[in-house]
Amino acid sequence: MAEKKITLSVIKADVGGFVGHSTIHPDLAKTAIKELEKAVSKKLLIDFHVTNCGDDVELIMTHWRGKDSSDIHELAWNTFKEATKVAQKLKLYGAGQDLLVDAFSGNVKGMGPGVAELEFLERKSEPVIVFMADKCSPGAWNLPLFRMFADPFCTPGLIIDKSMHDGFIFEVVDIHQNKVIKLSCPEQMYDLLMFIGSAENFMIYNVYRKTDGEVAAAASTQKLSLIAGQYVGKDDPVCVVRSQSGFPAVGEILEPFSFPHLVAGWTRGSHYGPLMPCTFKDATPSRLDGPPRVIAAGFQIAEGKLIGPRDMFADSIWDYTRNKTAEAAEYMRRHGPFEPHRLPLKEMEYTTMPQIMKKYESKFLSMDGSAKDKNKGKKITVTTETD
C-alpha cells in the first residue's frame, strides 16, 4: 500500500462531437492516450484511463502531485489542445468548444474543462467509482450525493455501520457568489436541503467523513455559461466517490441512480430531462441530443494503478430504470417549448434566446394599450422574483 497520499484527478472537456453532439471520434481518444502515455513515461502520472460520455473526452489520472497541480492541469489542457487539432482536421462539431481561453494559466478551473479531484492515503482496499455525465449541469450530482451520504433509506450503512453512523459533512458552493459553506448531516440536513434543492445555484463540491475529516467524494461544479457569459455547451460534470470500509458500499453509491431524477440540460442545454444510467456503449445520446446520460466506471486502486474499469451500470437490473427514464423523457418532451420542459427564464439568459427577444424590446406597450408607450426606446429587462 502506498505510504503517501495519491491524487485521483478526473478532468473532462468537449473538444469536438461525432456526429453532432452524440459521441467522440475514436481518433480523439487515441490522441489523448498517446499524450498521457508520454506523461507516464516521464513519471508525471502513475496511471490513466481515457474514455468518453457522449461527446466529452474524459481523462482519469493518478499521480503524487496533489490537487490543483499546475503540472497535471497543464498536461490535461495540452492533451485537449492536441485532441482539438484532430477534431478541427476532421471538421468535428464544436471543435475545442470547452477550451474558453487561448493559453494555459496554471489551473484549468475557470478555463472551461470540468475537474473533480481526490487526494487520499490509499487503504488496504481502495474501490472508487467515477461518474461521468453528458447533456446536463453539475447540479445533477446534488440529489445522488445527498442520498449516498445522508439518506438511510438509500444507504443502510448510515444506521448500522458504526464507522458511518456519525454522518458526513457536505461542502456546498454558491456558484454565483463563488463562496462555499460546510454543513453537517444529520443535524443540519434540513439546512443542506434548503440549499442543494436549488441545484442550479448551490452545488455539492466535496463530501467528508465527520469522524476524521477523510474525503469521501468530489464533484465538478464548473458552469460554462458563467465562465463564458453565454451558452457555449452544457457542463457535462464528473464526480468521484470512494467506497466501502467507512464509506457507502458500492451498491449504496449506485442506488440513487435507480431514480431517473430531472436535471437541467438536454437539447441546447435548455431543457429539463431525466438522467439515464447507461452502459459505456450506450452513452451516445441521440433523441433530441438526449436524454441526459450518466456512466459509472468502477476501479480498484492498487499502488496508484487503476485496476479496471468495470462498467457499473451494465447489470440488466438497470434496464427497469432505463425504461422508466424513457417514459419520463417522453412525458417531458410532450411539453415542447413550454416549461417545465424548457428551463425557467432565469436559466435561459445564457442561451441564444435573448438574441431573439432583443428585437421585441421596443415593441412592448403599456398595459392600458396607449399608443404612447412610456417604455419605448428603453431596455426591457425580464426578472423573476421569489417569495
Predicted confidence at residue 104, as pLDDT, reads 83
What residues form DSSP beta bridges with 208?
169, 215
The structural domains of the chain, with segments of one domain joined by +, span: 6-333
Predicted confidence at residue 70, as pLDDT, reads 95
Q: What is the mean pLDDT of residues 100-108?
A: 79
- pLDDT tens readout for residues 45-86: 999 999 999 999 999 999 999 999 999 999 999 999 999 999
153 phi, psi to nearest 5 deg = -70, -20
Q: How far apart are CA 237 and CA 200, in angstroms?
A: 13
For residue 378, pLDDT beyond 70: no
* Average pLDDT in the chain: 90
Tell me the whole-structure pTM to 2 decimals: 0.90
Predicted confidence at residue 226, as pLDDT, reads 56
> Given pLDDT bands bounded at 50, 70 and 90, which one contains residue 359?
confident
Q: What is the mean pLDDT of residues 120-143?
A: 96
Residues shown for the chain: 387
Give the residue carrying C-alpha cell 450503512: 157
227 phi, psi to nearest 5 deg = -75, -45
For residue 100, pLDDT beyond 80: no
Q: How far apart are CA 238 and CA 11, in angstroms?
A: 8
For residue 227, pLDDT beyond 80: no
Single out the catalytic residue among 12, 14, 205, 272: 14
Q: What is the mean pLDDT of residues 354-363?
A: 84
Q: Which of 238-252, 256-270, 337-351 has the lowest mean pLDDT?
A: 337-351
Single out the catalytic residue among 231, 235, 236, 350: 231
- CA dihedral (193, 179, 262, 156) positive or negative: negative
Beta strands in the chain (DSSP E): 6-13, 47-53, 56-63, 114-120, 126-134, 168-174, 179-185, 202-209, 215-219, 238-242, 262-265, 271-274, 276-277, 293-302, 305-311
> Given pLDDT bands bounded at 50, 70 and 90, which one contains residue 352?
confident
- pLDDT tens readout for residues 149-181: 999 999 999 999 999 999 999 999 998 888 999
Peptide bond into 277 cis (omega under 30): no
Q: How far apart are CA 126 and CA 304, in angstroms?
A: 10
Predicted confidence at residue 160, as pLDDT, reads 96
Predicted confidence at residue 229, as pLDDT, reads 53
For residue 385, pLDDT beyond 60: no
**Does residue 14 carry a catalytic annotation?**
yes
* CB contact at 8 A, 148 and 192: no
- pLDDT tens readout for residues 236-249: 999 999 999 999 99
> Given pLDDT bands bounded at 50, 70 and 90, which one contains residue 360?
confident
Single out the catalytic residue among 47, 234, 236, 272: 234
**Does residue 231 carry a catalytic annotation?**
yes
Q: Which three cell numbers stand for residue 139?
A: 447540479
